[in-house]
A and B are shown apart, each in its own frame.
Chain A
Amino acid sequence: MNELVPTHETGPASLAEPIWKIRWKLTRRSLRQNWEIFKESRIGMLGIILIIAFGIFGAMWPIMINTVWDPMVYDPVVGFDPMMMHPSPPSGTHLLGTDPIGRDILAQLMHSTGREFLLGVLSALITVVIGTAVGTAAAYYGGLIDTFFMRIADIILLFPFIPLLVVVGAMVKLSFLPFAIIMGVLGGFGGITIILKAQALSVSVRPYIDAARVAGGSNFHIIVSHIIPNVLPLSFLYMMFSVTSAILSEATLSFFGVLNIDMSWGMMIHTADVAGYLFDFARYWWLWAPAGLAITLFCAAFYMVGRGLDEVVNPRLRKR
């Protein structure tokens, strides 16, 4: 935590440069420093490379469908290739073969990548925004607000996540956006609040916070410009883990057929499963391996970045 240079401004008014410029410089410097530390972590770098690879892969989707691929054949949901029997093994026209109802696996994989990014990042963003806001507020104000949010976190921690979502999903099939929001909100009020609150607590007792208060800074100002910047790296770290858990949950729920999502990696495996092809693994490998690997690698990538960030945030983990 100590790595981040506190960005409070107490400088005299006679400074040549405007305050925001100084702040920007400081931020840039700390970012650069953190990046240097992060680069040391090979695991983290591996994660970054994987994420970039997925990013490029996902970005190819709009290009491919608008130029090379005929939407009638390559649409990931309603596409169909009348020229061959399905599921067809990889061939020139379908590089990763087709699924049991004649849709191109590669197209599905590409199309889903963007959506997985959206799902993961959106729900993680919601988690982190809520977690940070609630955590810092609880730490700064204490008392009733603290107790209230901590009890909520306790209760949410009690919820067995996957089973509960499966139970809810079995009754109302959640679609993409509601699912991302629910994952995000549940995550945000849950365990992450407790961790971020602890971090915020350790920041809020530092002398410069008192100094800011004495200088007449409003509560809101102090929270936003002094406490939150110091909590953010940790928030960012947990955001990575949230992405992983959101994607894995989506895949598991899709596999059980309790989500209302038309296409995702989990749905691809579900499709193979309900059509009875998830059985002879060697023979119909293209029906499960691409999607299964994508889920694993994508989640692992974010997790690895999280591990790398951990070394930035937690100096004790760094190399001696």
Chain B
Amino acid sequence: MRRYVFGRLGQVILTLLIYVTLVYFLLQAMPGDITMMYLSNPKIPQAAREELKKQLGLDQSLFMQYVSYMKNFFRGELGVSFSQYPKPVWDILMEKLPRTFVLFLTANVFSFYVGFVMGKVIAWRRGKVIDYAATVVGITFWTAFYPLLALVVIWIFAYNLKWLPLNQFIDPRLWSAAPFTANQVFGNMVYGAAIIGIGIFFIFYYLLRGLKPSRRSRAQAWALACALIAAVLFVAARKGMLIYIWDITRHMILPVFTLTLINFAGTMLLMRDSMLETVQEDYVMAARAKGLPDKVVRDRYAARTALLPTVTSLVLSLASSMSGGMVTETMFSWPGLGQTLFAAALSNDYPLATGALAFTGIFLLIAHFIADILYAVLDPRITYTGQSGV
């Protein structure tokens, strides 16, 4: 096991190195550079342009630039942004990360959950109307033209019905007197959600074990869960943060809803297929033969095993959404990594664009790594010594 993990780790680092190199040279090969923006003003003398090149290190040979970039990269420095000179790329990315993280984590969890439940249900009722209906509707949303769908959703719910705020992630009118920065609140939201999530998991795990939990233990679990949520909210209220958390939550509803609409079908169909494969396994048949209620067989026997490939896909999609949110972030004015990457590309800010892409690469690599290990640990059919990558 350890050998497998370390071997994989080595590969991961090598892959990262090659990936960053590729991204670096790919972006360098693009026409245009940052000094182009000076081209629009004839009053800026050539001398100033040369000075800028010197400041940004563009007067050195490409290879030397690359070497110094890689050296810094492995020291955890991603260089200095061109368009926000001399702000370090790392700082810019760290400033955006919490926003992207909170939004896409929530959206992924939601669409995963919706997809999981629906997949389970339609697999069980395969060939029925609900199977076809859910599949067609799911595929239609899955292939919907996302920017358009986002605009339509905003137009309906925020503009016409006025149920939810238009765009942005906070309301400036509320926040102009806020004692916190948005990132502090985001950070606290992550802590809070983590505490609630882990807490509830354990409460339900311990109190509702077994196939038929008693009514009493169910009530206990509920009470405890509510108490935990209340406690966390109370702490937030004491800190005076509750209203700001509330404001962010309000602004998150529309993007999360839209993302769920678009994405749930992926999980749903995967879950459906995976279920269909597991229901034919002997132990599921056995459980049925034993006369257990359909629901119990579905939820506790089939779904648990079928979850495996779905969870792996969740891990991967979480990682890729760390950068894939360009459309969401633009349409909902949610200033995260995707928007930063796009803006960097438009302004020829190579260090920032390279940094953002490398950053996503690291996320994805870690996710792949975790997914591999998860698979190896959870699925007894895969052995550590077996061929990797298959």
Contacts and interface: CB of A to CB of B under 8 A. Distances in A.
Is any CB of A less than 8 Å from a CB of B in the complex? yes
Interface of A: 42-43, 46, 150-151, 153-155, 157-160, 162-164, 166-168, 170-172, 194, 197-198, 201, 244, 248, 251-252, 255-256, 266, 269, 278-279, 281, 288, 292, 295-297, 299-300, 303-304, 307, 310, 314, 316-317, 319
B269 A307 contact: yes
B26 A157 contact: no
Contact of B390 (A194, A256, A292): A194
Q: Main SS of chain B's interface residues?
A: helix
A135 B276 CA distance: 27
B94 interface: no
B324 A163 contact: yes
B359 to A, nearest CB: 10
A198 B390 CA distance: 6
A296 B140 contact: yes
Nearest to B269: A307
23 contacts: A42-B132, A43-B132, A46-B136, A151-B18, A153-B389, A155-B22, A157-B368, A158-B361, A158-B364, A160-B357, A166-B342, A170-B345, A171-B32, A172-B31, A251-B145, A252-B145, A252-B147, A269-B145, A292-B148, A300-B140, A304-B136, A314-B273, A316-B280
A162 to B, nearest CB: 6
B111 interface: no
Interface in B113-130: 126-127
Given A170-B342, A269-B148, A160 B364 contact: yes
A207 B220 CA distance: 60
A151 B345 contact: no
B313 to A, nearest CB: 12
A154 B10 CA distance: 14
Given A157-B368, A255-B145, 17 more contacts: A42-B132, A43-B132, A154-B15, A159-B19, A163-B357, A163-B360, A167-B27, A167-B344, A168-B30, A172-B31, A252-B145, A269-B145, A278-B151, A279-B151, A281-B152, A295-B143, A314-B273
B142 interface: yes
Contacts of B139: 43, 300, 303-304, 307
Given A46-B136, A201-B390, A252-B147, A160 B360 contact: yes
B32 to A, nearest CB: 6
A288 B269 contact: no
Given A155-B18, A251-B145, A303-B143, A171 B320 contact: no
Contacts of A314: 273
